Structure 1
Amino acid sequence: MIIGTGIDVVDIARFERTMQRTPRLRERLFAPSERDLRLPSLAARYAAKEALIKALGGSDGVHWTEIEIASESSGRPHFVLAGSTAAVIEERDIVSLHLSITHDAGLAAAFVVAEGAPL
């Protein structure tokens, strides 16, 4: 059963300007393992985090640095959640999160499906 969906698109050039104006955003928005990635990849991860928040219906209990986007050996992205953010997922009876991210032609995009147990 689908509990929620979320989508987000980020203009990479605009994201880069914002990151240059406010360098501490890397620490506030990204897990330590994500901070050294190139800007297009960071923009895609930012879009993924925004899409997750939309799939959840809001950001109550969600903390940016507790949401990490990692990749399987195949390259498939997935969420690694910690702390209160992981607790929010559990409280909402979400059993699986599906994530697709991309960046091309100056844009980064992400789509998330939050899935619960079948009825």
Structure 2
Amino acid sequence: MIYGIGTDVCDIRRIADTLQRRGPRFAEKVLGPHEIEVFRDRSARVEARGIAYLATRFSAKEAFSKAIGLGLRMPMTWRDCEIVKAASGKPEIRLHGALKAWFEARGLQAHVSVSDETDYATSFVVVETRPAALPP
């Protein structure tokens, strides 16, 4: 059963402007431990790829916060929600800390899709309740 749906569109130029104004502290505020490593690696190779990565993660976290119905208030925090890639390349949501505990206590699971073009990043998240285990 669907618990919530969230979507977000992010202007990559706005993320680039914010990053330029605030420096690496902005990325460190938004990205979790794994994400910050990927961001630094991509930025070192091609700055635009790092910025697009940051924008997709920003967008996905906004969409996730809408899908769970909390917005950006506790236990939802930027860094406790990470968007990571499975071995197949599929994006997945990895939660930490109080947000993970809150999410698991409700028996929820999330699905995320991210995309970006030159100027925009977009994300779509569906959160659903996990099906009850079937009796033996």
Q: TM-score, normalised by structure 2?
A: 0.81
Helix, strand or coil for the counterpart of 2:100? helix
**Offset at residue 117 of structure 1 (A):** 3.0
Q: Does 1:77 align with 2:78?
A: no
Q: Does 1:64 align with 2:78?
A: yes
Correspondence for 2:118 among 86, 97, 105: 105
Equivalence for 2:18: 18
Helix, strand or coil for the counterpart of 1:40? helix
Equivalence for 1:9: 9
Tell which deviates more after alignment, 105-114 or 57-66. 57-66
How many angstroms apart in 1 are the aligned matches of 2:126 and 2:29?
24
Of Structure 1 and Structure 2, the greater strand share is in 1
How many angstroms apart in 2 are the aligned matches of 1:61 and 1:68?
14
How many angstroms apart in 1 are the aligned matches of 2:120 and 2:82?
20
Query: 1:27-38 maps to which residues of 2 (within 5 A)?
Result: 27-35=28-36, 36=40, 37=42, 38=50
**Offset at residue 89 of structure 1 (A):** 0.8
Q: Structure 1: state its 5+ residue gaps.
A: none
Of Structure 1 and Structure 2, the greater helix share is in 2
What residue identity is the alignment partner of 2:76? V
Deviation digits for residues 17-70 of structure 1 (CA, Å, limit 9, x no counterpart): 011111211111101222214110110011000101000111331121111111
How many angstroms apart in 2 are the aligned matches of 1:82 and 1:42?
19
Correspondence for 1:46 among 35, 58, 82: 58
| TM-align CA RMSD | 1.4
What residue identity is the alignment partner of 2:3? I
Number of aligned residue pairs: give it. 118
Structure 1 stretches of 4+ moved >4 Å = none
What residue identity is the alignment partner of 1:81? L
Contact 1:70 / 1:80 at 8 angstroms: preserved in 2?
yes
How many angstroms apart in 1 are the aligned matches of 2:94 and 2:100?
9
How many angstroms apart in 2 are the aligned matches of 1:76 and 1:4?
20
How many angstroms apart in 2 are the aligned matches of 1:47 and 1:76?
16
Contact 1:62 / 1:88 at 8 angstroms: preserved in 2?
no
Contact 1:63 / 1:84 at 8 angstroms: preserved in 2?
no
